[in-house]
Structure 1
Amino acid sequence: MSAAVMGFSTGAVDISHFDPQYQISFEDIDPTQTRVHALQLKVSDTLKEALAEEEGVRLTVYRDVAGYPTVGVGHLVRPSDGLRVGDRITYDQALHFLEADLRKAESGVKRLVGDLPLYQHEFDALVDLVYNVGEGNVSERRSPGLNAAIQTANYDGMADELNYTTAGGQVARGLEIRSERRQSIFMNAAYEDPRAIEVDTRGRASI
């Protein structure tokens, strides 16, 4: 499902209220070609589309692979949502949950990386990580390797630390594939779903 069709928009944030040291002109800087301060970045529409592919858009509350009530685009149901397994939400509610969760994940990434500059696709991959596993799981205590790589500006090391493959104490194949996709986004700006099957003109699927 196209993120554009879902009614999303993206772009650079207004940095006029941030620390004066960052008040420089970004108009001519392309974050797909040049690393920039994370304060300038927001998640791209391409990453939103990838999230919709990974999570699906579910309007009925269900239990995820770890057993947690979930709805929309992988939104973890909280007590304040007033929802139980089996309840239904509207499409607009799903979009609201997604945008709120993305803002939270973006903020989590900015706290995580500090002043380390990032390409757009590197930022997107980290947002996907925080969106998927929660900010608590990328803390220095729980993810020391990732934090060490960030502190030393070791981008290759950061990519190596993007594998989070367990849910409820069990390895999940879907999370393994998602981690591979996340690494491809971070390293190569390759957002394509590795599970996609190509079909030739005779209708034969490639594996």
Structure 2
Amino acid sequence: MVRELVRRMRRKYRSIRGDNLRGRMRKRKAVLAMSAAVMGFSTGAVDISAFDPQHKISFQQIDPTQTRVHALELVSSDTMKEALAEEEGVRLTVYRDVAGYPTVGVGHLVRPEDGLRVGDRISYDQALDFLEADLRRAEQGVKRLVGDLPLYQHEFDALVDLVYNVGEGNVSESQSPNLNAAIQMADYDGIASELTYTTAAGKVARGLEFRSERRQSIFMSATYEDPRAIEVDMRGQATT
């Protein structure tokens, strides 16, 4: 099953302009196929001891889409994984992102221990391994960030996208004081207003503007749709 999902990742997530509806639809299908691989990851059990050594937290069976729960109960939803796959795409050759950092796979920031340089290629299996590890790291970063603040599933998802996108260091109290203050005050509207990160290397990036808009919609109203999503008018023309 995994091999089949990996094979389907061969299609690239490319930007296609104009009214080429067929090309746009192919891109959409490729992204959905790749997101299927993401959603196939095993979430595993939450290691409560890593955050609560005294094991004082007692979880109940509560629907996090209807009631806010402790972040330790949560992992990324399948809908969020699909959105993440759409935003990041997949690249098997190490490249420099808009900020100039070596990147590969599904938005994986190359680390020294990866032993990779710009121009190196990785396998589909490696891309999936990087993605799974990065997603788990982002989820743990969110749990450290929010502490005891209860969250809906969609609020947790939006924060995972934030940490995945900008890194845990950039949501620290020193780098994002307003976000951390809103969390301390349990000001959910304030948190939503601080989810906009639109610059890379000191320049505003249009893609990050769209992603921030989507992230805020996820946090505030559980709306996961891509603001750049393809629509077809009455004449059969593709629009964005």
What band does the TM-score fall into relative to the shorter chain? over 0.9
What are the residue-to-residue correspondences of 1:76-87 with 2, within 5 Å? 76-87=109-120
What are the residue-to-residue correspondences of 1:1-207 with 2, within 5 Å? 1-2=31-32, 3-6=35-38, 7-10=40-43, 13=46, 15=48, 18=52, 19-24=54-59, 26-27=60-61, 29-200=62-233, 202-207=235-240
1:71-115 deviation digits (Å, cap 9, x = unpaired): 111000111111111111111111110111111111111111000
Contact 2:48 2:55 survives alignment (8 Å): no
Percent identity over paired residues: 80
1:43-72 deviation digits (Å, cap 9, x = unpaired): 111111111111101111111000111011
Unpaired stretches in structure 1, ≥5 consecutive residues: none
Letter of the aligned partner of 1:140 in structure 2? Answer: E
TM-score by length of 1: 0.92
Unpaired stretches in structure 2, ≥5 consecutive residues: 1-30
Contact 1:102 1:131 survives alignment (8 Å): yes
Structure 1 residue 199, shift from structure 2 partner: 1.5
Letter of the aligned partner of 1:160 in structure 2? Answer: S
TM-score by length of 2: 0.80
Alignment partners' CA distance in 1, 2:37 and 2:128: 12
Letter of the aligned partner of 1:102 in structure 2? Answer: L
Alignment partners' CA distance in 1, 2:36 and 2:239: 28
SS of 2:129 mapped into structure 1: helix
Contact 1:61 1:88 survives alignment (8 Å): yes
Structure 1 residue 174, shift from structure 2 partner: 0.6
Contact 1:165 1:171 survives alignment (8 Å): yes
- Superposition CA RMSD, Å: 1.8
Alignment partners' CA distance in 2, 1:206 and 1:98: 31
Alignment partners' CA distance in 1, 2:126 and 2:189: 38
Structure 1 residue 202, shift from structure 2 partner: 4.1
SS of 2:56 mapped into structure 1: helix
- Aligned residue pairs total 205
Structure 1 residue 21, shift from structure 2 partner: 2.9
Letter of the aligned partner of 2:116 in structure 1? Answer: L
Letter of the aligned partner of 2:205 in structure 1? Answer: A
Alignment partners' CA distance in 2, 1:206 and 1:65: 26
Alignment partners' CA distance in 2, 1:20 and 1:86: 46
Alignment partners' CA distance in 1, 2:172 and 2:48: 26
